[in-house]
Structure 1
Amino acid sequence: MIQITINRNRSGLIQSFTITGHALFDEHGKDIVCAGASAVSFGAINAVHELTGIIPSIEQGEDGFLSVAVPEDIPDTVQEKIQLILEAMVISLQTIEEQYGEHIKITFKK
């Protein structure tokens, strides 16, 4: 199962997110749940960089591990753009979770 943790700060802003595991929906290369979660998360990271010029802290590892953290000291206007992108990512991931909840789980932490 893909486990996604969305970490919010006290103000409710997305501070970081972590993705681990594999969906095991289908064999490697045919797993639409894994492909969807990967496309949405990497698309959001790329959008943050391209649209704001901010490069989040990114850590990747084996077994589907991805950890992304938003820098703290950035202008409010840039933070607003980043948050919009990340909230869109969360909505897309929740849509996948609604259809394939046996293979992907999202947890929110403050």
Structure 2
Amino acid sequence: MIHVRIQQNQHEDIVAFVMSGHAEAGPHGQDIVCAGASAVSIGAVNAIHALCDVDIVVDSAGEGGYLKCAVPSGLTTRIFEDVQLLLQGLKLSLEAMMETYPSFITVEIDRR
């Protein structure tokens, strides 16, 4: 199962997210849940870099199955808001996947 933990601050801004595990919803190379979760998460990171000119802090491990991303500090208000819009889109996509495939992906919101 893919476990996603989205970390939000007291203002409900997304400050980090961690994805770990494998969906195992199908044979290797045909797992649409894994492919979808990977596509939306890497797509969000790439969009933040390309559209906002922000290098989000990324940690990934080995052959996949782990991705940790954190929003860097010191962004202007405008850039921070743009980054938040992209991360909120990621959150909505992952939550929609969880509703459709609850046996293969969970999304937890961690408010600190």
TM over 0.5: yes
CA drift of 1:72 comes to 1.5
Give the equivalent residue in structure 1 for 2:84: 83
Q: Deviation string for 1:31-87 (max 9, x for gaps)? A: 000000000000000000001100000000145100000011100000000000000
- Partners in 1 of 2:9 and 2:95 — Cα distance? 20
- Unpaired runs of at least 5, structure 1: none
CA drift of 1:95 comes to 1.0
CA drift of 1:10 comes to 1.5
Is the partner of 2:29 in helix, strand or coil?
Answer: coil
- Partners in 2 of 1:96 and 1:107 — Cα distance? 13
Aligned pairs, number: 110
Is the partner of 1:35 in helix, strand or coil?
Answer: helix
- Partners in 2 of 1:58 and 1:22 — Cα distance? 19
- Unpaired runs of at least 5, structure 2: none
Indicate whether 1:39 and 2:39 are aligned.
Answer: yes
- Partners in 2 of 1:69 and 1:17 — Cα distance? 7
Identity %: 38
Normalising by structure 1, what TM-score?
0.97
Q: Deviation string for 1:3-28 (max 9, x for gaps)? A: 00000011110000000000010011
C-alpha RMSD of the superposition? 0.8
Q: Which runs of 4+ in 1 moved over 4 A?
A: none
Normalising by structure 2, what TM-score?
0.96
